[in-house]
Amino acid sequence: MIRIGILGYGNLGRGIECAIKHTKDMKLVAVFTRRDPSTVKILTSDAKVENIENVLEYKDDIDVMILCGGSATDLPKQTPEYAKYFNVVDSFDTHANIPEHFEKVDDAAKASHHFGLISAGWDPGMFSLNRVYANAVLPTGADYTFWGKGVSQGHSDAIRRIEGVVDARQYTVPVEAALEAVRSGSNPELTTRQKHTRECYVVAKEGADKARIENEINTMPNYFADYDTTVHFISMEEMKKNHSKLPHGGFVIRTGKTGWDNENNHVIEYSLKLDSNPEFTASVIVAYSRAVYRMRKEGKIGAHTVFDVPPAYLLDMSAEEMRAHLL
Amino acid sequence: MIRIGILGYGNLGRGIECAIKHTKDMKLVAVFTRRDPSTVKILTSDAKVENIENVLEYKDDIDVMILCGGSATDLPKQTPEYAKYFNVVDSFDTHANIPEHFEKVDDAAKASHHFGLISAGWDPGMFSLNRVYANAVLPTGADYTFWGKGVSQGHSDAIRRIEGVVDARQYTVPVEAALEAVRSGSNPELTTRQKHTRECYVVAKEGADKARIENEINTMPNYFADYDTTVHFISMEEMKKNHSKLPHGGFVIRTGKTGWDNENNHVIEYSLKLDSNPEFTASVIVAYSRAVYRMRKEGKIGAHTVFDVPPAYLLDMSAEEMRAHLL
């Protein structure tokens, strides 16, 4: 059994716990939290809840530590720090800072002879893999990524910070006409506005100036100003009833050409339609935790990404079975 | 430069030649043929055409030999045979015989310290990879593969063998309603007839009994009897004008559940829409030839499949670049 630790018990940590339940080769040893452990109730009856301060006591009892903090402030510190003591996996998703994060984790993991896998999830993660495979197969071509329909937590939070807003949920929606243009192989140049729209559901304080809130959303730089945005004011009851889940998904499409004179067109499309963004992300991370365990056993150390992992390492299945049934 | 040999110069061999032209790190050294080399014209001006009998003279001049024969009779002999002298790649696609083929190639390649990669292409190949990734991420779920719309050469050949048929082209077409049922997550059990239809375009000899030909097609066991089949009789001119290409494609879909009590649904879908089946297959093989070269350089020998290859090995790009731009 591969012994797993979870560090951080929010939506992602709970998703990891659920995914481990459905494996046959993994066991959750403990959840580590910054909160008072007595206030944290987990689902796995035979796993422990510990304060994060006691994590080093588990140095020899955990094969892979899964870091479930956020990419903004937690993971940039946590992943290099815990790579000193554990094999680690994270879902660091600030694309622009991945090279720097990789270097830090690589230094720490190499020094301590641990294995670190960063940026597992679906984007980065499964989407990245599809970009690599499609670029390898169709070197002459163009990549497109669309997100949604799904809840963007960053955009929802941005709305919640507006004066007079009690709660908010923002859906990113890919524009069907843009998807069709890409699939046609016409290789369109698409602006931000042409690719996605943003749909916002907002619960306002009683008496709040809705026109001002709507205007503040529509004109918010980076988040909404470059998009066609729709704002719906709803009641707290409707928010709870219809917008309590965290669905997401998206599309990675590469169109490309082959032939002596590039005379033939091809479309490779990968898409996800997810009821629960955190649970799917967690499922990817758990599969990669299996690979971390196996690659470390082979003697590999340092930082790695999904690009470095042979697909066979992800499955709890023998190579013979895989060749017979999945090839 | 990775030095490539092509053994067999049909549609696939020509596709390989085209794909190599569009790489920056590979060079075609020679094409080997069973025909009289003086009768074979290739596209690459600085590559040689040699009779297959002279192949061993190139033992030290070729890094990867790409075997472009058929899976029925060529590859079961050729891949183990040439693995004695070269690192080899093939696109062996008789799914049921893959385990046996793997063993033979593994024995030959290990004995001679070569690296063999079998069954590269899109199915087996890219479709297989997607089955593995999707199974790893969603262990609780169901797999579906649909093919088409595209030309099945085996089915076209079967029609051509009917008395009175001059030429024929058979398209395999996925049933849209079945695709939708799968995408809905309803986990349908689908019969052969419910998944695909077969469309046949047939040029008959003048005076041939078309009703008999149509009946022979419709009732042909394994090939057509289990499908809803449509037969269109057309002229040779129409055949040449509208049915000379070899398009293909298909869909790999996995639907699965996550959550403590499997309460959330997810759909992972991968699809291909290809103008040229042999050129796309060739493009996959060429990407995997790069991996073969690299893995052999690392000291790895024996038979492998796409499941064993880290995605990063497929691209002519540094790991840093890949992390910065594709992750």
**What is the edge-to-edge ordering of all strands in the sheet holding B165-174?**
B150-151, B165-174, B196-204, B228-233
User: What b/e readout covers A126-141, taking b as 16+ CB neighbours within 10 angstroms?
Assistant: bbbbbbbbbbbbbbeb
Residues A234 and A143 in one domain: yes
Closest-CA residue to A137 (of B284, B273, B292, B247): B284
CB contact under 8 A, A311 and B316: no
Domain count, chain B: 2
Q: Which residue of A has its CA nearest to B327?
A: A128
Give residue-wise pLDDT tens across range B259-277: 999 999 999 999 999 999 9
Give residue-wise pLDDT tens across range A305-323: 999 999 999 999 999 999 9
CB contact under 8 A, B129 and A19: no
Give residue-wise pLDDT tens across range A5-52: 999 999 999 999 999 999 999 999 999 999 999 999 999 999 999 999
pLDDT of residue B4: 98
Residues B154 and B191 in one domain: yes
Shortest Cα–Cα distance, B208 to chain A (Å): 36
Q: Which residue of A has its CA nearest to B270?
A: A270
Residues B60 and B29 in one domain: yes
Cα distances from B38 to residues B33, B61, B265, in angstroms, run 10, 22, 60
CB contact under 8 A, B283 and A324: no
Residues B130 and B256 in one domain: yes
Nearest by CB to residue A260, choosing from B21, B129, B315, is: B21
Shortest Cα–Cα distance, B221 to chain A (Å): 25
Residues B184 and B222 in one domain: yes
Give residue-wise pLDDT tens across range B100-146: 999 999 999 999 999 999 999 999 999 999 999 999 999 999 999 99
For chain B, the first-to-last Cα distance in angstroms comes to 26
Residues A259 and A315 in one domain: no
Q: What percent of chain B has pLDDT over 70?
A: 100
Instruction: List the CATH number of the domain containing A66.
Output: 3.40.50.720
Distance of CA B318 to the CA centre of its chain: 28
Q: Is B124 annotated as a binding residue?
A: yes
CB contact under 8 A, A137 and B327: no
The span from the CA of A182 to the CA of A141, in Å, is 11
pLDDT of residue A47: 98
Q: Is B172 annotated as a binding residue?
A: yes
Give residue-wise pLDDT tens across range A147-202: 999 999 999 999 999 999 999 999 999 999 999 999 999 999 999 999 999 999 99
CB contact under 8 A, A307 and B306: no
Q: What percent of chain A has pLDDT over 90?
A: 99
Nearest by CB to residue A307, choosing from B265, B283, B312, is: B312
Closest-CA residue to B278 (of B127, B136, B91, B49): B91
Residues B251 and B139 in one domain: yes
Q: Which domain-ending residue is among B260, B275, B290?
A: B275
Q: What percent of chain A has pLDDT over 70?
A: 100
Half-sphere exposure of A250 (CA within 13 A, CB side): 25
Residues B245 and B170 in one domain: yes
Q: Which residue of B has its CA nearest to A95?
A: B327
Cα distances from A14 to residues A8, B45, B266, in angstroms, run 9, 60, 17
Residues of chain B contacting A22 with CB distance shorter than 8 Å:
139-140, 258, 262
Range of the domain at B24: 2-122+278-326
pLDDT of residue A239: 98
Give residue-wise pLDDT tens across range B204-257: 999 999 999 999 999 999 999 999 999 999 999 999 999 999 999 999 999 999
ipTM: 0.97
Residues B134 and B116 in one domain: no
pLDDT of residue A34: 96
B220: which residues sit within 8 A by CB, 6+ positions away? B158
Residues B79 and B220 in one domain: no
CB atoms within 10 A of CB B296: 19
Computed over every residue of chain B, the mean pLDDT equals: 97
CB contact under 8 A, B273 and A260: no
Q: Which domain-ending residue is among A275, A292, A313?
A: A275
CB contact under 8 A, B312 and A314: no
φ/ψ region of A268 (left if φ > 0, alpha if ψ in -120 to 50, else beta) reads beta
Residues B264 and B141 in one domain: yes
Q: What percent of chain B has pLDDT over 90?
A: 99
Residues of chain A contacting B137 with CB distance shorter than 8 Å:
126, 280, 283-284, 287, 314
pTM of the model: 0.97
Instruction: List the CATH number of the domain containing A185.
Output: 3.30.360.10
Query: Phi/psi of residue B6, each to 5°?
Result: -115, 125
Alpha helices in A119-235 (DSSP H): 126-137, 153-160, 176-183, 192-195, 210-218
The span from the CA of A307 to the CA of B120, in Å, is 18
Q: Which helix (H) or strand (E) holds A170?
A: strand A165-174
Residues B152 and B171 in one domain: yes
Instruction: Count residue pairs from A and B with Cβ separation < 8 A.
Output: 211
